[in-house]
């Protein structure tokens, strides 16, 4: 085989054998950039039945994989080169509202390969900061594109606390639990906070406090969240960071609102907006208008609430901030439905869904809200279909509380639909025997 295909053939076969998914056909150019004859070799391997194509990947049968898989991955020059290519692609900055977000979607199809590569090299190079920093980047990719738990979690927690990459790895790991097991997310975030405190990094301490505050809001622990938001605000004030202060005030406003302290919440959000007056940092301003909308609606000030939500939408639209566009439309949909403005509610929920392409959790929330709308209008089949789709997403994301709420809604839909069918059945004989039935 080596004589016919050249010395590269065995190396390529070992790479295909190494990766659980095989090699993505669309990734050949960046994975094997140094091999000019790569396409011909792969075609020949297929012709010889050493490999075959399956769902866009070049793969091989298990017995051949077991034989050809490198026994010492760290000593394979080609695999080490491919590792560098993967690490380079994973190290890019990810922001759904910044250029380059679409390109990083490659992880959706290759997440299993990337995780296997990291699992192997975190074992081989356990003290390598590069490997663990890339591990954190990989988890960040999953958070945005394919939220799921990882086999790397136990390894991350097993790192010694003094390892330079452990706080960031723990933080990224905690985010994978945000839509599901919030108690686990909080545990990991508290550990992250402890590590940053020990290192004396006040900026990271403030960031960690913010994350714990958010989780506490979800858990309904508003008083604890208020304390964390105020501590983070104090750090921002000591550092003289205007943006930092505005961000912490916005977070404080959410916790105060959850605790029923509406005046204090309004004051915090308004102060944040004033701090950023005339500055280019509009993202926090956008978020502040959303919380002000919720505060106003809690007071029964419906039109003021609508104005704040619509202001947030006007700020977010030019920047295409999908998260804010989705959430503010969600708030408007909920408000409109409660106010009996059904057509406006359905329009807003459709708009909310349209901004959840990369956000399965918010999509599921929007579907669940849509199901509530249909249920309220006695459209039980539509409500059931929407709620079932939402439940599937929540289950996949392991969002236990949301899944429980969704299943409760499904039970109500089933009960009311069954009662309606029973009523029609009971009325049927009356219609048959009625003298006016003709």
The domain that holds 312 is classified in CATH as 1.25.40.10
Q: List C-alpha distances in Å: 252 to 46, 119, 268, 272.
A: 60, 39, 7, 10
Pick from 34-38, 152-156, 413-417 the range whose average pLDDT is largest.
Answer: 152-156
Report yes or no on 189 lying in a domain: no
Number of domains in the chain: 2
Helix ranges (H only) for 276-377 are: 283-298, 302-319, 322-338, 342-354, 360-376
Report yes or no on 342 lying in a domain: yes
Domain boundary residue, one of 358, 382, 397: 358
Q: Report d(CA 329, CA 207) in Å as an integer.
A: 28
Which pLDDT belongs to residue 431? 39
Report yes or no on 395 lying in a domain: yes
Q: Report d(CA 204, CA 197) in Å as an integer.
A: 8
Which pLDDT belongs to residue 224? 97
**Residue 398 pLDDT > 90:** no
Q: Using one digit for the tens of pLDDT, what is the confidence trace for 194-223?
A: 999 999 999 999 999 999 999 999 899 999
Report yes or no on 150 lying in a domain: no
User: CB-hemisphere CA count at 13 Å for 339?
Assistant: 18
Q: In what order do the strands lie in the sheet with 57-59?
A: 23-24, 57-59, 52-54
Pick from 3-12, 21-30, 204-213 the range whose average pLDDT is largest.
Answer: 204-213
117 or 358, which is more confident? 117
Question: What band does 260 get if pLDDT is binned at 50, 70 and 90?
Answer: very high
The region of weakest confidence among 10-14, 46-50, 93-97 is 93-97
Report yes or no on 396 lying in a domain: yes
Q: Report d(CA 392, CA 394) in Å as an integer.
A: 6
294, 331: one domain: yes
Range of the structural domain that residue 341 is part of: 285-358
What is the pLDDT averaged over residues 159-166? 96
What is the pLDDT averaged over residues 46-51? 87
Which pLDDT belongs to residue 436? 30
Which pLDDT belongs to residue 104? 87
Question: Is the Cβ–Cβ distance between 228 and 211 less than 8 Å?
Answer: no
Report yes or no on 169 lying in a domain: no
Burial class of residue 416, CB neighbours in 10 A (0-12, 13-18, 19+)? middle
The CA radius of gyration of the chain, in Å to the nearest whole number, is: 27
Question: What band does 279 get if pLDDT is binned at 50, 70 and 90?
Answer: confident
Domain boundary residue, one of 336, 358, 380: 358
344, 300: one domain: yes
Other C-beta atoms closer than 10 Å to the C-beta of 73 total: 17
């Amino acid at each position: 085989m080596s004589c016919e295909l050249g010395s590269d053939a065995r190396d390529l076969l070992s790479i295909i054998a190494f990766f659980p998914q095989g090699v993505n056909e669309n990734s050949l150019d960046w994975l094997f950039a140094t091999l000019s004859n790569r396409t011909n070799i792969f075609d020949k391997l297929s012709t010889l039945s050493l490999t075959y194509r399956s769902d866009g990947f070049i793969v091989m049968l298990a017995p051949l994989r077991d034989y050809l898989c490198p026994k010492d991955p760290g000593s394979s020059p080609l695999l080490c080169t491919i590792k560098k290519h993967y690490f380079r692609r994973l190290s890019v900055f990810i922001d759904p509202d910044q250029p380059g977000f679409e390109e990083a979607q490659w992880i959706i199809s290759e997440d299993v390969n990337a995780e296997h590569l990291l699992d192997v090299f975190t074992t081989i190079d356990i003290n390598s900061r590069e490997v663990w920093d890339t591990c954190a980047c990989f988890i960040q990719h999953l958070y945005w594109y394919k939220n799921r738990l990882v086999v790397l979690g136990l390894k991350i927690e097993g790192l010694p606390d003094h390892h330079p990459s452990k706080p960031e790895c723990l933080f990224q790991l905690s985010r994978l639990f945000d839509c599901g097991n919030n108690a686990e997310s909080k545990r990991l975030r508290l550990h992250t906070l402890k590590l940053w405190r020990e290192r004396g990094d006040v900026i990271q301490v403030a960031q960690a406090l913010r994350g714990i505050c958010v989780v506490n809001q979800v858990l309904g622990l508003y008083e604890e969240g208020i304390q964390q938001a105020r501590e983070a605000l104090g750090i921002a004030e000591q550092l003289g960071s205007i943006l930092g202060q505005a961000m912490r005030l916005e977070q404080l406003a959410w916790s105060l609102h959850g605790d029923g302290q509406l005046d204090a919440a309004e004051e915090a959000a308004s102060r944040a907006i004033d701090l950023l007056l005339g500055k280019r940092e509009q993202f926090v301003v956008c978020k502040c208008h959303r919380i002000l909308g919720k505060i106003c609606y809690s007071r029964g000030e419906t039109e003021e609430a609508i104005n704040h939500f619509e202001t947030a939408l006007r700020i977010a639209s030019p920047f295409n901030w999908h998260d804010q566009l989705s959430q503010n439309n969600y708030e408007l949909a909920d408000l409109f439905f409660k106010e009996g403005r059904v057509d406006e509610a359905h329009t807003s929920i459709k708009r909310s869904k349209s901004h959840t392409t990369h956000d399965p959790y918010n999509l599921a929330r929007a579907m669940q809200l849509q199901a509530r709308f249909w249920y309220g209008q006695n459209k039980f089949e539509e409500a059931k279909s929407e709620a079932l789709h939402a439940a599937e997403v929540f289950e996949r994301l392991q969002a236990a509380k949301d899944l429980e709420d969704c299943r409760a809604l499904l039970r109500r839909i089933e009960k009311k639909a069954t009662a309606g069918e029973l009523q029609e059945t009971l009325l049927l004989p009356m219609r048959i025997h009625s003298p006016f039935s003709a």
